[in-house]
Structure 1
Amino acid sequence: MNSEELGFCQCHEHLMIRKGGSCRINTALCMDDFSKSKREVLRYKEKGGQTIIDAQPCGCNRMAAGLCRISEQTGVNIIASTGFHKLAFYSENHWIRFLREDQLADIFINEIVCGMFENLDDGMDSEQIPARAGIIKAALEGENLSMRYEKLFYSVCCASRETKVPIMVHIETGSNPMGLLSYMLRQCIEPNKIIFCHMDRAEPDLSVHKSLLEQGIFLEYDTIGRFKYHSDLDEIHIIREMLDAGFEDQILFSLDTTRERLRTYQEDAVGLDYILCSFIPVMKENGITSGQIEKISRSNPVRLLE
């Protein structure tokens, strides 16, 4: 996929999630109405959006066939995820807790090479569809690389080495992203195949952001229009500091949408087109150039995914 095919890309969204463990933890993590999700993506396309990376992994209420249908019917590229999320989202008897590293890696590789499983939430007996995953999701919590999380991270590193597919990591507040990055580099993952997400709300110390970027990874910022955390001007301050430090080739952005942030599900939500319609004009007003925005929204995603 080249830059023309990829177009404007938001690199961490959630478009369709069925009821299940995620919803029990947070009711906003259920977007199971195909018509509403499709209309949201069409609005994004009308404003200039062309690609979305959907960050919901297998076994965690992902609706793979629904994502495929939305992409086919809207013409928007949707890059789906395999991998794992926070363990709180899985039941105590979920397979992700008990399979060996090699078995987990085989599932993730299978989803990338052969096709995604439609529903692995409650067991391993699931229909496999032709559409394949294009990115590997992982999640770092406060317990960091405990025994159970090291097993999961080892498995996604194996899958990434085998397939050359990037790893996108959810970074939780209070975790140790520098320690995780050291581990992933020891597992021979190329830095330009690693994305750390949510650092703009998980880590207030911007020197940590710079230290990570110095290793060659991507940071994906998505605390945009999320005013319970900070204002858009605060977000722009973070992005500006990284750009001014010379990291414009390693920054990505998105909204990390939930039910409460999609306008077709909640009328007063910011909507999937918020970056295009509202945030980019404010970026320009505050000294971020069109060329830098072009890199964040188009060129950098291409380099990540090529």
Structure 2
Amino acid sequence: MIQTVQGLIPPEQLGFCHSHEHLFLAEGQPEKLNPALRIDDYTATLSELEMFQSLGGKAIVDAQPLGCGRMEKELVKVSSQTKTHIVASTGFHKLAFYPHNHWIRTFSMEELKEVFIHELTVGMYIGTDSHLPKEYINHKAGQIKTAIDEKRMKDSEKKWFIAAAQASIETSIPIMCHTETVEQGDYLTDLYIKLGVPPRNIIVCHLDRKLDNIGAHKKIAEKGCFVEYDTIGRFKYHDDELEVEMLKQMLEWGFADAILLGLDTTRQRLKSYGGEIGLNYIIENFIPLMHRRGISQKNIEKFMIKNPAIAFSKI
């Protein structure tokens, strides 16, 4: 089963799925780092999702964890209003997204684990950007978002990652890993597997921001983990032609069943907020390009339908 904000659904009901997006992001610490990290207009997000649905989109994985801008009530409301399956995230983002006095920096490993498990089994906490996790709604998160960066690489305690791994093992819920280099992705997958997380419950994102070491993607996929690519239409990194060439190489290596796709949306990347692309981009632009470059419809359906149905299931 897949745990959406509206409850459990069988995997075959998930449908066409973007595996990494941000539908809402409240004013706060992330916006201070980058104004594009504020997506808080309900009407605009509703319009974006309605466009996505009109083109055949069925499901979105929202990758914003608690404590740094997640808008729980809005995710539930827009899911209900549009009949879109939305998978919300518990867990943690990179430390820069939290003020220096935020509780997520000071909680022990056991306290963090309890918070994550509560959000996965009871309901998501509200108001955690500025308050301790106490009040909650009766709608659950469906994945554990985790983030590694240079600061956390140097942290010897690794309490956040141990808490996430234990919460995943106890609930059978998958872990999504924000990475900033492929080397970090390789390290983090090794750590989670060593801690006992099944590889098919590990999703590594952002690996395609740089395409100079595709062999590292192969190494991660060989472990049995999912590789999630979300740099589509992000031309400050590279063009879509190079993205497709990378996908074709992964297919040649035999990893059609390991690939997930998304757009990692920001305010600048949502049409309804005046952005340069929108949730229509994969359907209207990238899928036609994959067809033209020889990627089969069967493999595209794996990227967008079959693989997400497996990756976001409780196993």
Interval of TM-score (by shorter of Structure 1 and Structure 2):
over 0.9
Report the alpha carbon displacement of residue 173 of structure 1 after superposing the two structures with TM: 3.2
In the alignment, is residue 248 of structure 1 matched against residue 256 of structure 2? yes
Which of 220, 224, 234 matches 2:242? 234
The residue matched to 1:249 in structure 2 has which SS?
A: helix
In the alignment, is residue 291 of structure 1 matched against residue 298 of structure 2? yes
TM-score (norm 2): 0.94
Report the alpha carbon displacement of residue 124 of structure 1 after superposing the two structures with TM: 1.0
Partner of 1:275: 282
Report the alpha carbon displacement of residue 202 of structure 1 after superposing the two structures with TM: 4.5
| Equivalent runs, 1:31-46 vs 2, <5 Å | 31-46=39-54
Report the alpha carbon displacement of residue 12 of structure 1 after superposing the two structures with TM: 0.4
Partner of 2:223: 215
Report the alpha carbon displacement of residue 3 of structure 1 after superposing the two structures with TM: 4.4
Task: Please tell me the residue identity of whatever aligns with 2:302.
Answer: K
Which of 167, 173, 188 matches 2:196? 188
Which of 58, 74, 89 matches 2:82? 74
Which of 30, 38, 45 matches 2:38? 30
Identity score, percent: 43
1:174–1:75 Cα change, 3 Å: closer
Provide, for residues 84-126 of structure 1, a one-character-per-residue CA deviation record: whole Å limited to 9, x for no partner.
0010010000001101000001001000100101220112155
Cα pair 2:115 2:133 within 8 Å, conserved: no
Report the alpha carbon displacement of residue 145 of structure 1 after superposing the two structures with TM: 3.3
Provide, for residues 162-218 of structure 1, a one-character-per-residue CA deviation record: whole Å limited to 9, x for no partner.
111000001113752222221111100000000000000156201101011100000
Partner of 2:26: 18
The residue matched to 1:10 in structure 2 has which SS?
A: strand
Report the alpha carbon displacement of residue 2 of structure 1 after superposing the two structures with TM: 3.4
Quote the Cα distance in structure 1 between the aligned partners of 2:10 and 2:182.
37
Quote the Cα distance in structure 2 between the aligned partners of 1:95 and 1:146.
20
> Structure 2 stretches of 5 or more lacking a match?
1-8
Task: Please tell me the residue identity of whatever aligns with 2:218.
Answer: K
Q: Flag as ranges the 4+ runs of structure 1 deviating above 6 A.
A: none
Cα pair 2:17 2:308 within 8 Å, conserved: yes
Quote the Cα distance in structure 2 between the aligned partners of 1:132 and 1:215.
29
The residue matched to 2:197 in structure 1 has which SS?
A: coil
Task: Please tell me the residue identity of whatever aligns with 1:38.
Answer: L
Once the two structures are overlaid, the 10-residue window that deviates more, 73-82 or 112-121, is: 112-121
Report the alpha carbon displacement of residue 304 of structure 1 after superposing the two structures with TM: 1.2
Which of 59, 67, 78 matches 1:59? 67
Partner of 1:260: 268
Once the two structures are overlaid, the 10-residue window that deviates more, 180-189 or 82-91, is: 180-189
Quote the Cα distance in structure 1 between the aligned partners of 2:108 and 2:155.
12
Task: Please tell me the residue identity of whatever aligns with 1:216.
Answer: G
Quote the Cα distance in structure 2 between the aligned partners of 1:175 and 1:141.
11
Cα pair 1:79 1:133 within 8 Å, conserved: yes
> Structure 1 stretches of 5 or more lacking a match?
none
Quote the Cα distance in structure 1 between the aligned partners of 2:238 and 2:157.
30
Once the two structures are overlaid, the 10-residue window that deviates more, 203-212 or 60-69, is: 203-212
